[in-house]
């Protein structure tokens, strides 16, 4: 399965984040041995433990909702945080990254689904206001490299497509209004096991696939 998906994603130059949450280190090691280097996790303690035991050239991505008081546990090693849904969270990431004398790549998570429970910024205007503030310009230890979103969990493909299009639209707006000549701002993290092909069609640059690779959780 990994090879098939890797091959498929190669055609569109889409990055695969193998979502290994709840899966044991041995399952990750097996996928590592086949060449996979980027793994996504949603629990701080779990990713910190896996970081300790697994090869150090793995790039760990934090993909789930992140509490501010837990940022310090992943700040020394995390490669990317997909779930930045508030200014206060970014501020904490910046602070902890500075303590570790490094910079952390972050994605701004937008709320694109119908469901109430999903986190994220609601609109581009709020994000632009924040990005243009001195609060943000003083954050030297974070780099915003794109956006992330989760579509509604539904069989209605057109709805999911519409939500992905909306996220792509947010990305384009931010690109033209703020990140104009910023080449680092290039990622659109969208698409999971059930909808990644649709996401790729709609311009995803990074898919987060778990169960399709590792089996059911």
Ligand X SMILES: *Cc1c(COP(=O)(O)O)cnc(C)c1O
Minimum CB separation from ligand X for residue 111, in Å?
A: 13
Minimum CB separation from ligand X for residue 193, in Å?
A: 3
Residue (21 or 143) nearer to ligand X, CB: 21
State in Å, rounded, how far the first CA of the chain is from the last one. 16
Rounded to whole angstroms, how far apart are CA atoms 65 and 43?
A: 9
For the window 83-122, what string marks contact with ligand X as x by the rule CB under 6 A? ----------------------------------------
Among 73, 100, 193, 203, binds ligand X (CB under 6 A): 193
Rounded to whole angstroms, how far apart are CA atoms 71 and 136?
A: 18
Among 9, 58, 62, 63, binds ligand X (CB under 6 A): 63
Rounded to whole angstroms, how far apart are CA atoms 130 and 36?
A: 35
Asked if residue 211 binds ligand X (CB under 6 A), the reply is yes
Asked if residue 209 binds ligand X (CB under 6 A), the reply is yes
Query: Helices 157-177 & 124-131, crossing angle to 10 degrees?
Result: 30
Asked if residue 192 binds ligand X (CB under 6 A), the reply is yes
Single out the segment in contact with ligand X by CB under 6 A; choices: 47-55, 111-119, 130-138, 209-217: 209-217
On whether the CB atoms of residues 208 and 199 are closer than 8 A, the answer is no
Q: How many CA atoms does the CB half-sphere of 72 hold within 13 Å?
A: 2
Among 54, 64, 98, 143, binds ligand X (CB under 6 A): 64
State the alpha helices, DSSP H only, in the chain.
2-10, 25-33, 44-53, 71-74, 87-99, 124-131, 134-137, 157-177, 196-201, 211-214
Residues 28 to 47: which contact ligand X by CB under 6 A?
42
Minimum CB separation from ligand X for residue 20, in Å?
A: 10
Residue whose token pair is 């497509």: 161
Minimum CB separation from ligand X for residue 192, in Å?
A: 4
Residue nearest to ligand X (CB): 210
* Site for ligand X, rule CB under 6 A: 19, 21, 42, 63-64, 150, 192-194, 208-212
């Amino acid at each position: 399965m990994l090879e098939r998906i890797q091959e498929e994603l190669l055609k569109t130059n889409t990055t695969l984040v193998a979502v290994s949450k709840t899966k044991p280190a041995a399952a990750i090691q097996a996928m590592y041995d086949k060449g996979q280097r980027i793994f996504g996790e949603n629990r701080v303690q779990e990713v910190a433990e896996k970081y300790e035991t697994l090869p150090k050239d793995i790039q760990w991505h934090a993909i789930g909702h992140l509490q501010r008081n837990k940022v310090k546990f992943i700040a020394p090693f995390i490669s990317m945080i997909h779930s930045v849904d508030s200014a206060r969270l970014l501020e904490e990431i910046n602070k902890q990254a500075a303590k570790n004398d490094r910079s952390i790549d972050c994605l701004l998570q937008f709320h694109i689904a119908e469901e109430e429970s999903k986190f994220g910024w609601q609109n581009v205007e709020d994000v632009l206001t924040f990005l243009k503030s001195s609060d943000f310009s003083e954050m030297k230890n974070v780099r915003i490299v794109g956006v992330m979103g989760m579509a509604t969990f539904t069989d209605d493909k057109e709805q999911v497509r519409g939500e992905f299009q909306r996220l792509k639209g947010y990305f384009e707006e931010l690109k033209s209004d703020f990140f104009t000549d910023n080449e680092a701002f290039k990622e659109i993290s969208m698409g999971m096991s059930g909808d990644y092909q649709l996401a790729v069609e709609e311009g995803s640059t990074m898919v987060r696939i778990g169960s399709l690779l590792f089996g059911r959780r």
